[in-house]
């Protein structure tokens, strides 16, 4: 038991050092330390490491590695109130969206919504607008973004702007059809 605690403590220390390097702008060092913490089984490091791979922070961007670590974060996140990591599910959905796999993306984004990530609604709406060209479904998810308990101000503002744009475009379309 003490051996396991010692391993967890070392992983937590690695993660803490990684966060310090990140704060100081030492991104390659932060990446290496997050990787070491994640490999040592420190679950909170998984999604951060995935984000580094996803964004190319301190390392060359690698969507395959990002997906691997986001998946581990999603699967191994466990708290007293939820199973699964909503942010990781959202990010997995965004990667699949960017890879041109809208069905898979929507599946993951809906998981994120179910776990309380209101921003994932906006990502679903964007898929319906851009890939599926389905305004009605997009409007539903834009409204859900605005009404979400946990959505960033930026997502809410973008959802409002898109709804406004859809309304304007709809009016123009109606006017054109009448003439």
Q: Is the distance from CB of 125 to CB of 138 less than 8 angstroms? A: yes
At 82 the pLDDT is 47
Give the mean model confidence (pLDDT) for residues 87-98: 96
> Would residue 61 count as lying in a domain?
no
Separation of alpha carbons 179 and 171, rounded Å: 13
> Would residue 113 count as lying in a domain?
yes
Nearest to 91 by CA among 69, 58, 60: 69
> Would residue 65 count as lying in a domain?
no
| pLDDT at position 151 over 50 | yes
Q: Across the chain, what does the average pLDDT equal?
A: 89
Give the mean model confidence (pLDDT) for residues 43-62: 96
| pLDDT at position 174 over 80 | no
Prediction pTM value: 0.84
> Would residue 67 count as lying in a domain?
no
Q: How far is CA 155 from CA 114, 122, 125, in A?
A: 17, 7, 11
Residue 87: CB partners within 8 Å, gap ≥ 6?
A: 47, 112, 117
At 3 the pLDDT is 60
Give the mean model confidence (pLDDT) for residues 88-92: 96
CATH number (domain holding residue 130):
1.25.40.10
Higher pLDDT, 82 or 88: 88
> Would residue 119 count as lying in a domain?
yes
Q: Which residues pair with 78 in a beta bridge?
A: 83
């Amino acid at each position: 038991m003490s051996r396991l605690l010692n391993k967890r403590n070392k992983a937590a220390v690695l993660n803490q050092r990684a966060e310090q390097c990140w704060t100081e702008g030492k991104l390659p060092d932060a990446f290496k330390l997050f990787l070491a913490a994640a490999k040592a089984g420190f679950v909170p490091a998984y999604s951060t490491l995935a984000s580094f791979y996803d964004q190319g922070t301190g390392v060359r961007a690698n969507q395959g590695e990002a997906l691997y670590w986001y998946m581990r974060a999603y699967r191994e996140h466990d708290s007293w109130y939820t199973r699964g990591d909503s942010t990781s599910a959202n990010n997995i959905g965004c990667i699949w969206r960017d890879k041109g796999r809208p069905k898979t993306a929507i599946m993951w984004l809906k998981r994120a919504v179910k776990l309380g990530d209101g921003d994932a609604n906006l990502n679903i709406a964007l898929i319906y607008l851009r890939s599926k060209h389905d305004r009605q479904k997009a409007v539903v998810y834009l409204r859900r973004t605005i009404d979400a308990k946990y959505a960033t101000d930026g997502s809410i503002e973008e959802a409002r702007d898109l709804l406004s744009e859809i309304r304007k475009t709809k009016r123009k379309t109606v006017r054109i059809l009448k003439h």
